[in-house]
Structure formats: C-alpha cells, structure tokens
C-alpha cells in the first residue's frame, strides 16, 4: 500500500512514526548483538537505580522547585521504587521521612504537598503509601486516622464523589485516592462509599474505558482508578467489564508498551496504569462470565480462558448494570485482603514479555532511573511506574498471593525479579500485610 500523502499526515502520525523508528532501532540493535551482550542489555541495573533513587531522597537540584506541592509524591515514587528493588530502609531514613511527612499532616486531617500547605487527596494518598512502604511502628503510628477520616468526610461531595481539596475539582482520581487510603487504613465505611459507584459509572465511556469525569475521553490512569475503586467499594459488577477489557487490550502498542488514550504515544508510566488493570480483571472472572452470559442470552460463550476471546466480546449490552451477584462483605476494609487472595484461573490478557522488553530496553537508563520513551529524560515518576509495571508482568500468571515463589515470568536474568505488589494500592505486598496487622490491633 502506498504511503499516505504528506498533506494527510497529522502531527500525531508523524510523532508516532518517530517513536516507532527509535524503538525499533533499539530492538534491531539488540537483535544484532551476541548472546552475551544481549544478556547484559536485558539486566535491570538495580544498583544504579538504587543509587539514583537514594540520592533523590538526600538532595534535589533547583529545577525541582516546580514540584514543591508534590513533595510527598517524590517520597512515594522513590520509596516505592526502592522497595520494589528489595532495598531496605535504615532507621535514620525512616526518621527523616516520618518527620517530614508529619510536617505535611494538617492539624485537621489529611496531608498537604509540603509543610503548611492545604491538605489534598493526592498528596494524602502519596503520604500514606510512603509511610506504609517504610512500614515501621513510628511511620504507621504517625498517621492520625481519626482526623484523616474527618478530612475524607469533608472532601465527600453531596453527589457521592470526592473533591481533591476544599473547593477543588471532582474526578475519578479523587474517588480512588480517598477510597484507597480509607481501605488500606481500615477506616472505610458505608458513609464514605455512598453513591461513589454512581459517579464512576457515569464516567465509563462508549469506548469501554473510564474518563476522569463525565463526558471526557477514556484514559488509562482514570480507568485503573475507577476499576480499583469499584472493587474496593464492592460494586465492580456494575461496570461493563467486557467493554472495559476490549478497550484496554488495544492500548498495548506495536512497541510493546502501553498508550494512555486512543491514538496517543506509548509511555512507560502506563506500564502500571494500563498494565495494572489486568491483575484486577483476572480476579473478576466469574462476574465477567455472568455479564457475557447476559449479553449472549444464555449462549455457550462461558469459558473465558483465551485472550483472543476477550477481543471478540460483543459490546452491545443490555442490563449489565443490574447484575446482582455481589459478595457479602461485612467489613469494607477487608475487601483488599480478600481480593489479593482470590484465585486467578486465566493467563495474561496482554503480552507481558513484550511490555518487559519495552521497559528494560527502551525506558531503562543504565546509569539509573527510567523514562517515558527513547529521547526523554529519566525521572522518579516514570521510575516508579515502570518498575511497578515490571512487577505486574512478573507475577501476572500467579493463581493467588500464596503462590508467589512458584510461578514468576521474568524476562532476562532471574536477578531481574522484583518484589510483588498489591494490585489495588500499588504498595509492596508484604508492606500491605504489615499495615493490615498493625491497624487490626488498634
């Protein structure tokens, strides 16, 4: 087929072609190398990454002043990345981070982006996950759960959703950060949950993905946030899950990585925001099969065990939102624990080895850190979510959390194996168990 006339080439098409050229040149160079050199290229440079991350906790250049309202996020991105690499934290580091985040904790609840800044749901999520990642008694006991719960109540909008901060915007991100924090700290109740599901339902688009707010475009980050929230509030059966799967499987591009929206460029951060959707979906098999059965009016389309079947799903649905087979959960905060223990009976619904190849060869900086795509610079944000996506890939075929040491899918040397995460909260799994035990005793 002849190439499209230059006049018909859009900016997006031109940028896509440039990215493909850079990525495929890297892959071609890799394929032309001797086997020993390929092995070296496929290694995760853990020591260099740890050095880059640790230095970021100690000192940042003046250019980071633009992130002054995101300092808890910097803590989370760095600490979570180090935890994924299996790095431990010494007492001095824990003391310094706890002291700093305590200064960010508002007297009336929640955490701001820095000392003296107004509390915000996003930085509250980052602060809580940072303290959970540290995991020590001083870190966990520094969280004022009573005042944090009061803050969440103040952010609850009468319509059911949440605001990011006082008089701030309402979106799916706000719902996720509020519900995630309440769930993992064992303070989630039906008052916080009320009508949240209605708002997220209104954000699922005709494409199948979830937008940030009603009427907007489906987006990978918001789709993860919306799906995870609906699981945590025990209303995931209300979403059109076949349509959601149909949307997300097509977000993996020819490069092996994921794009965040339709017709956008690949980006390493979506290794988690899109890739992290799949371990959630795989634990919802029974609900998905029931929805498929309703769509096909009792036809034989019942066994969801091959990825190609997902791509053939009929999105013309009637009455999916009324599915009533809902697990009876007495304590909403137990959902995260029950979910990670749930059996998974199907393999990956995406090409997990292709994603690992993209992350390691195209996003990894061998001197430390990860980037969006070739040609971009490294940063702590992409380092965090590229490593989180790698962890998802490595453990995607596990049947449940109890089989962690028996079935990893690691591209490259076994030394590449990272720590497993809890897919709903994106914290290292053993830190999740630790915080559950700590707060269950209070």
Catalytic choice (49, 238, 261, 283): 261
Contact yes or no for 399/282 (Cβ under 8 A): no
Beta carbons within 8 Å of 200's beta carbon, 6+ residues apart: 172, 175, 210, 226, 229, 230, 239
**Which residue would you say has higher pLDDT here, 90 or 296?**
90
Query: In the Cβ-directed half-sphere of 264, how many Cα atoms lie within 13 Å?
Result: 17
Beta bridge partners of 379: 370
Catalytic choice (80, 165, 382, 431): 382
Catalytic choice (125, 237, 267, 425): 267
Nearest Cα neighbor of 207 from 154, 246, 252, 256 is: 246
Phi, psi of 162 (to 5 degrees): -125, 155
Exposure class string for 196-213: b at 16+ Cβ within 10 A, else e: bbebbbbbbbebbbbbbb
Task: Read off the pLDDT band of 320 (50, 70, 90).
Answer: very low
Catalytic choice (71, 173, 219, 283): 219
Catalytic choice (111, 270, 358, 395): 270
Catalytic choice (49, 156, 173, 264): 264
Give the span between the Cα atoms of 72 and 88, in whole angstroms: 19
**Which tokens in the block code for residue 362?**
């195209």
Q: Is 219 a residue of the active site?
A: yes
Q: Is 267 a residue of the active site?
A: yes
Give the span between the Cα atoms of 126 and 143, in whole angstroms: 13
pLDDT for the residue 326: 52
Give the span between the Cα atoms of 237 and 321, in whole angstroms: 7
The predicted-structure confidence for 264-284, as pLDDT tens digits, reads as follows 999 999 999 999 999 999 999
Catalytic choice (269, 362, 386, 393): 269
E-state strands within 341-422: 370-371, 378-379, 421-422
Q: Is 372 a residue of the active site?
A: yes
The predicted-structure confidence for 406-430, as pLDDT tens digits, reads as follows 557 999 999 999 999 999 999 999 9
**Which residue would you say has higher pLDDT here, 371 or 398?**
371
The SS3 assignment for 297 reads: coil
Catalytic choice (106, 171, 240, 372): 372
The predicted-structure confidence for 82-104, as pLDDT tens digits, reads as follows 999 999 999 999 999 999 999 99
Helix pair 71-84, 121-134: axis angle to 10 deg: 40
pLDDT at 220 over 60: yes
Task: Read off the pLDDT band of 405 (50, 70, 90).
Answer: low
**Which residue would you say has higher pLDDT here, 4 or 356?**
356
Q: Is 269 a residue of the active site?
A: yes
């Amino acid at each position: 087929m002849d190439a499209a006339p230059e006049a018909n080439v859009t900016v997006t098409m031109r940028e896509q072609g440039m990215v493909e050229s850079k990525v495929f040149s890297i892959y071609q160079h890799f394929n032309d190398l001797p086997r020993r050199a390929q092995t070296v290229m496929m290694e995760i440079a853990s020591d260099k990454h740890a050095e880059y991350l640790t230095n970021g906790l100690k000192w940042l250049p003046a250019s980071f002043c633009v992130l002054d309202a995101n300092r808890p996020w910097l803590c989370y991105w760095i600490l979570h990345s180090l935890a994924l690499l299996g790095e431990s934290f010494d007492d001095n580091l824990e003391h310094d981070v706890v002291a700093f985040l305590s200064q960010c904790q508002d007297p009336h609840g929640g955490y701001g982006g820095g000392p003296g800044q107004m509390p915000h749901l996003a930085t509250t999520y980052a602060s809580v996950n940072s303290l959970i990642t540290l995991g020590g008694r001083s870190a966990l006991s520094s969280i004022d759960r009573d005042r944090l719960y009061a803050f969440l109540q103040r952010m609850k909008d009468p319509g059911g959703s949440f605001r990011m901060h006082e008089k701030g915007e309402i979106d799916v991100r706000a719902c996720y950060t509020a519900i995630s924090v309440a769930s993992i700290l064992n303070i989630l109740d039906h008052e916080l949950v009320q009508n949240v599901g209605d708002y997220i339902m209104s954000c699922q688009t005709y494409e199948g993905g979830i937008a940030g707010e009603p009427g907007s475009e489906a987006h990978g980050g918001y789709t993860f946030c919306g799906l995870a929230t609906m699981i945590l509030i025990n209303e995931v059966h209300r979403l059109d899950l076949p349509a959601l799967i149909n949307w997300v499987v097509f977000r993996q591009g020819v490069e092996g990585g994921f794009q965040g929206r339709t017709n956008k460029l690949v980006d390493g951060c979506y290794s988690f925001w899109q890739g992290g959707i799949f371990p959630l979906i795989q634990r919802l098999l029974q609900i998905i099969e029931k929805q498929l059965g309703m769509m096909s009016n009792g036809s034989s389309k019942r066994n969801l065990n091959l990825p190609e079947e997902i791509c053939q799903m009929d999105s013309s649905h009637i009455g999916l939102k009324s599915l009533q087979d809902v697990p009876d959960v007495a304590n909403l905060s137990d959902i995260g624990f029950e979910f990670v223990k749930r059996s998974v009976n199907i393999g990956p619904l995406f090409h997990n080895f292709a994603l690992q190849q993209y992350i390691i060869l195209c996003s990894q900086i061998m001197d430390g850190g990860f980037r969006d795509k070739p040609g971009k610079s490294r940063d702590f944000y992409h380092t965090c979510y590229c490593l989180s996506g790698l962890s998802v890939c490595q453990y995607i075929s596990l049947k449940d959390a109890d089989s962690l040491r028996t079935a990893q899918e690691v591209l490259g040397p076994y030394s590449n194996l990272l720590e497993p995460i809890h897919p709903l909260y994106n914290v290292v799994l053993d830190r999740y168990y630790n915080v559950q035990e700590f707060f269950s005793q209070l």
